[in-house]
């Protein structure tokens, strides 16, 4: 079976315990305003353009039969992305890396071999593999196949999810998933919709079902100034009766902002600052006061 990814990151230490390989699936059904992986949102191939690296060789103009690349009246290299078919030919032609392709079709045997290469590191660090995204659960057929293959090889498996998928998808991978990294963005459903484009009822229902099923769960809360700071206590109260191993607060950062420009997208939170240590500590204290094992990522 074949899946659509946008990255395979080895030696990852932020997506579950130990040293891990994180597999990033392409495609997501949420539109979080702060998303730091904007290349994960659309399932189809995309191109990133970094004009400061362009040497003006013209190779991309020649190879692109769709007519995406053109010069404006000032002679600047521009892209008409609406015409792009995602063939990625221009990115293969651009030796200066001004054009970078985003999108990777991989079959499960290739991906398994890539993951297994680092099994020694997983075994020596209590690590493993994490399937992330985008939303890995949206490619449930492929996810079920690859996670089962990994489990059969004795590799610790984690799924990082926003949880906005039918419960039947979870049921298909419960037995082969050692850990769920479950993102919660807001407790209030209307606020959740403002921040992510969807209400949170399905997400919360699935979280309760995972807890009832005895699954190991780490909840992760993106902590975004001006967006969801006031939701922390309500989230804590909601989680206090569930079986949650740990709650991780993920402070907002701007690392993804340059990717928006490269993808031709606008970035809504351009003026948002990273939260201070003090406000993050305060959020952690609120969660601890709800009886949760809370920390910063
Ligand atoms: S192939 Fe790359 S370096 Fe050459 S014109 Fe196109 S973007 Fe610029
Ligand atoms: S990905 Fe294909 S269609 Fe899109 S700009 Fe490059 S060559 Fe043209």
Q: What's the whole-model pTM score?
A: 0.94
**Nearest atom of ligand 1 to the alpha carbon of 97:** 2
Q: In a mutational test of the pocket of ligand 2, which residue from 42, 59, 62, 89 has the highest number of ligand atoms less than 8 Å from its CB?
A: 89
Beta strands (DSSP E) in 2-147 are 2-12, 20-25, 46-49, 69-71, 77-79, 99-102, 104-107, 128-132
Residue 214 near residue 245 (C-beta atoms within 8 A): no
What's the gap in Å between 227 CA and the centre of ligand 2? 36
| 285 ligand 1 Cβ < 6 A | no
Per-residue HEC secondary structure of 146-159 comes to HHHHHHHCCCEEEE
**Nearest atom of ligand 2 to the alpha carbon of 79:** 5
| 63 ligand 1 Cβ < 6 A | no
Task: Identify the helix (H) or strand (E) that includes residue 125.
Answer: helix 119-125
What's the gap in Å between 37 CA and the centre of ligand 1? 24
> Where are the chain's structural domains?
2-41+107-253+275-296, 46-102
User: How far apart are the C-alpha atoms of 30 and 135, rounded to whole Å?
Assistant: 8
pLDDT in tens, the chain (297 residues): 999 999 999 999 999 999 999 999 999 999 999 999 999 999 999 999 999 999 999 999 999 999 999 999 999 999 999 999 999 999 999 999 999 999 999 999 999 999 999 999 999 999 999 999 999 999 999 999 999 999 999 999 999 999 999 999 999 999 999 999 999 999 999 999 999 999 999 999 999 999 999 999 999 999 999 999 999 999 999 999 999 999 999 999 988 888 999 999 999 898 898 999 999 999 999 999 999 999 998
Q: In a mutational test of the pocket of ligand 2, which residue from 90, 98, 99, 103 has the highest number of ligand atoms less than 8 Å from its CB?
A: 90
What's the gap in Å between 35 CA and the centre of ligand 2? 25
| pLDDT of the residue at 259 | 93
| CATH homologous superfamily for the domain 2-41+107-253+275-296 | Aldolase class I (3.20.20.70)
DSSP state letter for 276: P
For domain 46-102, give the fold: Alpha-Beta Plaits (3.30.70)
User: How far apart are the C-alpha atoms of 294 and 270, rounded to whole Å?
Assistant: 28
| 84 ligand 2 Cβ < 6 A | yes
| 55 ligand 1 Cβ < 6 A | yes
**Nearest atom of ligand 2 to the alpha carbon of 91:** 6
Tell me the backbone φ, ψ of residue 130, rounded to 5 degrees: -125, 130
| 98 ligand 2 Cβ < 6 A | no
Q: In a mutational test of the pocket of ligand 1, which residue from 47, 55, 70, 91 has the highest number of ligand atoms less than 8 Å from its CB?
A: 55
- HSE of 83, CA atoms in CB hemisphere, 13 A: 10
Long-range contacts of 75-83 (CB under 8 A, 24+ apart): 76/51, 77/49, 77/51, 79/47, 79/49, 79/264, 81/47, 81/264
What's the gap in Å between 215 CA and the centre of ligand 1? 49
């Amino acid at each position: 079976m074949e899946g659509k990814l946008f990255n395979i990151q080895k030696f990852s230490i932020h997506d579950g315990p130990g040293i891990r390989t994180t597999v990033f699936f392409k495609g997501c059904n949420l539109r979080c305003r702060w998303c730091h992986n904007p290349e994960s949102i659309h399932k189809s191939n995309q191109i990133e353009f970094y004009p400061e690296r362009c040497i003006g060789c013209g190779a991309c103009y020649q190879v692109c039969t769709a007519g995406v690349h053109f010069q404006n009246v000032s002679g600047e290299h521009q892209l008409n992305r609406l015409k792009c078919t995602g063939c990625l030919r221009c990115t293969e032609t651009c030796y200066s890396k001004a054009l970078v392709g985003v999108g990777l079709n991989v079959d499960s045997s290739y991906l398994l071999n890539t993951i297994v290469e680092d099994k020694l590191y997983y075994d020596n660090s209590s690590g493993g593999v994490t399937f992330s995204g985008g939303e890995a659960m949206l490619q449930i057929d492929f996810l079920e196949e690859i996670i089962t293959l990994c489990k059969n090889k004795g590799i610790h498996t984690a799924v990082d999810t926003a949880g906005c998928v039918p419960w039947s998808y979870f049921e298909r991978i419960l037995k082969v998933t050692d850990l769920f990294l479950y993102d919660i963005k807001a407790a209030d459903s209307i606020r959740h919709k403002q921040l992510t484009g969807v209400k949170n009822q399905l997400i919360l229902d699935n979280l309760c079902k995972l807890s009832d099923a005895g699954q190991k769960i780490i909840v992760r809360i993106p902590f975004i100034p001006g967006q969801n700071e006031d939701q922390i206590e309500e989230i804590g109260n909601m989680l206090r009766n569930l079986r949650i191993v740990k709650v991780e607060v993920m402070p907002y950062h701007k690392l993804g902002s340059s990717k928006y420009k490269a993808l031709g997208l606008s970035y809504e939170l351009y003026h948002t600052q990273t939260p201070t240590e003090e406000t993050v500590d305060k959020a952690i204290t609120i969660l601890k006061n709800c009886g949760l094992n809370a920390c910063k990522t």
